[in-house]
Amino acid sequence: MSNMHLLKIFQSQSRFFYTALLGLGIINSFTFSVLLLFINLTIAGKPFPIWPQYGWLIFFGLLAVSVVTTKVFQTYLVKLTQQILYGFELNIVDQLRSASLSDFQKLGSERVYTAINDVRVLGLVPEVMIVIVNSSIIVVCALAYLCYTSVAGGLCMLGLMLGMLIFYSTRNKAIRKNLGKVRDLQDKYHKYLLDLLNGFKEVKMSSVRNRNLFTLFIKANRDNAKALGQQTAVRYLDNELIGRYSWYFALGMVIFVLPALFNMRVQDYIPFIIVVLYLMGPLSSLVGIMTHLNNINIAVERIQSVEKEISTVSVSDSKPAVLPCKCPRFESLRFKNICFEYTDHLKQKSFTVGPISLNINKGEIIFVTGGNGSGKSTFMNLLTGLYQASAGSISYNGHPVPLAEYNAYSDCFSAIFTNSYLFSENYDGFDLRTENTELMHYINMMQLKHVLIIDNDTKKIDIGLSKGQTKRLALIYALMENRELLVLDEWAAEQDPVFRTYFYEFVLADLKSMGKTIIAVTHDDHYFHHADRIIKFDYGTIVNDQTISKVSKVAELDQLFV
């Protein structure tokens, strides 16, 4: 990522950016040149050549113009930077919410966290750019003045500065490389932290896991980051130290070497001494600002890398969907030779599910079973449109579902997955008040009347519940979506035996009477007689699709209570 690319980003947000930059450059170039001329003429005891009696007015007038111009440009730059920052941040989140589940899983949430943090680094741009522009202008004006005073002396100073520039550029490449490594370590650090926070109970259940997570991963990561950070900081300080004292070296060259080389008189090399002293501040600022500039460039690289990865999404909200936002009444769903393949590049493994062909009809209760790794979860993700098939087709009510319409297709399902998540805010806009009879009916159905804490003012329900109660509340929310297709992934696993029996014996029948079509992953074989069909998965394919007749159900019930 070059600095020119950073400038192009600003130009893309404001067509007046280069004009404003050029205007600041012209005004400040003229101002700093005249100020430098004032200083040298004053030391030489000569009056200002134009309106000498108003020299003081010209001096302070130019200074005021420079301050006002810089202030205007700085304000403009702050607003533009915040606009870019706002755009980057929202664009990442907007693209992310449109990404498929498989895209998100490949990307990893830790990279998203790091990218969002990188966006905040762009807030340094106004300070960095003002320093770069003003300091560069002073350097150019000073060199031009030296060449005007003495071509040979000016070229010597130019050569010295070019040598320092090459030196800094070489060292800066190594510094930026280290900063990139530090950012990679930050990605992994966020991953380890998420493992600690999301798997806290599992961490506490094993002293070996607890120790290894901290010692071999988190601490090792931070040790590496600390070592690289120290090395980078020392290099930055070395640059600043060398940069500061190199100008004292240049001052010695002006005092002792230039007069001997070019037979200069005192009055000839005094301007050089003044210019060297004049340049010390701006050049020190340029060297000092390199830390921020590197961080900004790396941040932009990382942000655009994440944007690029999530920009090629499988689903686009901008494309029109044949399926309306509110799904048509469900009649049938058909999978025809559906296949899905996922490649884990880190583990160099490939997982394949399919081909899967089946029909789901209105009002069915379908139990999905199979061992671990048999393909059940992948099937549920394909069924609900979270995964996009690599081959085959899905038809809803006899109409094929194109890839561009997966968002609308997913809206036809209410789903509760194994590791379901309850939001702390009411993002669905449900009427979560005790006055809502529908809500209270579902709460009674889930036997949570004396458990849930409902805030009528904020329309929120407290989610400080047990795992089983959380699943019940999730089912209440799913029912309030009023969708005909209900997907349950190991929903009953966390329920106590009494409520589990109640769920299979009564709740499922109530849901069916409400017109729901239920597809549930379950291992509760004692309750299989409550299903209309049992679908068994093994090695990524359906090995058995059994329809349970009413007669067999009665026989099974009789056998069950014998």
Q: Running DSSP on this structure, what letter comes out for residue 328?
A: P
Q: Which of 184-188, 205-209, 215-219, 359-363 has the lowest mean pLDDT?
A: 205-209
For residues 430 and 477, the answer to whether their CB atoms sit within 8 Å is: yes
Select from 376, 468, 371, 375 the least CA-distant residue to 422.
468
Q: Cα-flanking dihedrals φ and ψ of residue 33, to 5°?
A: -65, -45
- Domain 332-560, CATH class in plain words: alpha beta
Per residue in 69-114, pLDDT (tens digit) is 878 887 887 778 777 777 777 777 777 777 777 777 777 666 777 7
Cα–Cα distance, 356 to 353 (Å, whole number): 8
For residues 507 and 514, the answer to whether their CB atoms sit within 8 Å is: no
Residue intervals of the chain classified under CATH 1.20.1560.10 are 3-311
pLDDT band at 323 (very low <50, low <70, confident <90, very high): very low
Residue intervals of the chain classified under CATH 3.40.50.300 are 332-560
Would the pLDDT of 308 be above 80?
no
Cα–Cα distance, 154 to 139 (Å, whole number): 12
* Cα torsion through 227, 233, 237, 243, rounded to 10: 110
Residue 372 vs residue 534, higher pLDDT: 534
pLDDT band at 366 (very low <50, low <70, confident <90, very high): very high
Would the pLDDT of 499 be above 80?
yes
Cα–Cα distance, 142 to 158 (Å, whole number): 10
pLDDT band at 488 (very low <50, low <70, confident <90, very high): very high
Per residue in 18-27, pLDDT (tens digit) is 787 777 777 7
Which pLDDT score is estimated for 550? 53
For residues 146 and 296, the answer to whether their CB atoms sit within 8 Å is: no
Share the mean pLDDT of the chain.
78
Cα–Cα distance, 249 to 227 (Å, whole number): 32
Beta-bridged to residue 537, according to DSSP, are 370, 542
Architecture of domain 3-311: Up-down Bundle (1.20)
255-273 mean pLDDT? 70
For residues 133 and 125, the answer to whether their CB atoms sit within 8 Å is: no
Select from 90, 89, 84 the least CA-distant residue to 124.
84
316-340 mean pLDDT? 70
- Residue identified by tokens 């050049």 is 283
Would the pLDDT of 383 be above 80?
yes
Select from 542, 544, 547, 534 the least CA-distant residue to 368.
534
Beta-bridged to residue 413, according to DSSP, are 485
Whole-structure pTM value = 0.65
pLDDT above 90 covers what percent of the chain? Answer: 15
Would the pLDDT of 303 be above 50?
yes
Identify whether 259 is preceded by a cis peptide bond (ω within 30 of 0). no
Would the pLDDT of 545 be above 70?
yes
Residue 427 vs residue 444, higher pLDDT: 444
Q: Which of 71-80, 236-245, 436-445, 551-560 has the highest mean pLDDT?
A: 436-445
Q: Running DSSP on this structure, what letter comes out for residue 369?
A: E
Distinct helix (H) and strand (E) counts, the chain: 19, 12
Q: Cα-flanking dihedrals φ and ψ of residue 464, to 5°?
A: -80, 75
Select from 283, 280, 273 the least CA-distant residue to 145.
273
Per DSSP, the residues of 48-103 read: -SSSGGGHHHHHHHHHHHHHHHHHHHHHHHHHHHHHHHHHHHHHHHHHHHHS-HHH
Per residue in 277-301, pLDDT (tens digit) is 777 777 777 777 777 777 777 777 7
Plot region of 344 (φ>0 → left; ψ -120 to 50 → alpha; else → beta): beta
Tokens of 45: 């005891």
539-551 mean pLDDT? 79
Q: Which of 250-254, 311-315, 401-405 has the lowest mean pLDDT?
A: 311-315
Would the pLDDT of 553 be above 60?
no
Residue 451 vs residue 187, higher pLDDT: 451
Degrees, nearest 5: CA angle 233-237-239: 115
Grouping H, G, I as helix, E, B as strand and the rest as coil, residue 135 is: helix
Residue 161 vs residue 440, higher pLDDT: 440
CB atoms closer than 10 angstroms to residue 221: 19
Beta-bridged to residue 309, according to DSSP, are none
Would the pLDDT of 437 be above 60?
yes
168-191 mean pLDDT? 77
Cα–Cα distance, 257 to 265 (Å, whole number): 12
Which pLDDT score is estimated for 316? 43
334, containing H or E segment: strand 332-344
pLDDT band at 514 (very low <50, low <70, confident <90, very high): very high
Give rounded-to-5 percent helix, strand, coil for the chain.
65, 15, 20
503-508 mean pLDDT? 92
Q: Which residues contact 459 (CB under 8 A, 6 or more apart)?
A: 426, 430, 431, 432, 433
Q: How far apart are the first and last CA of the chain?
A: 75
307-332 mean pLDDT? 59
CB atoms closer than 10 angstroms to residue 331: 13
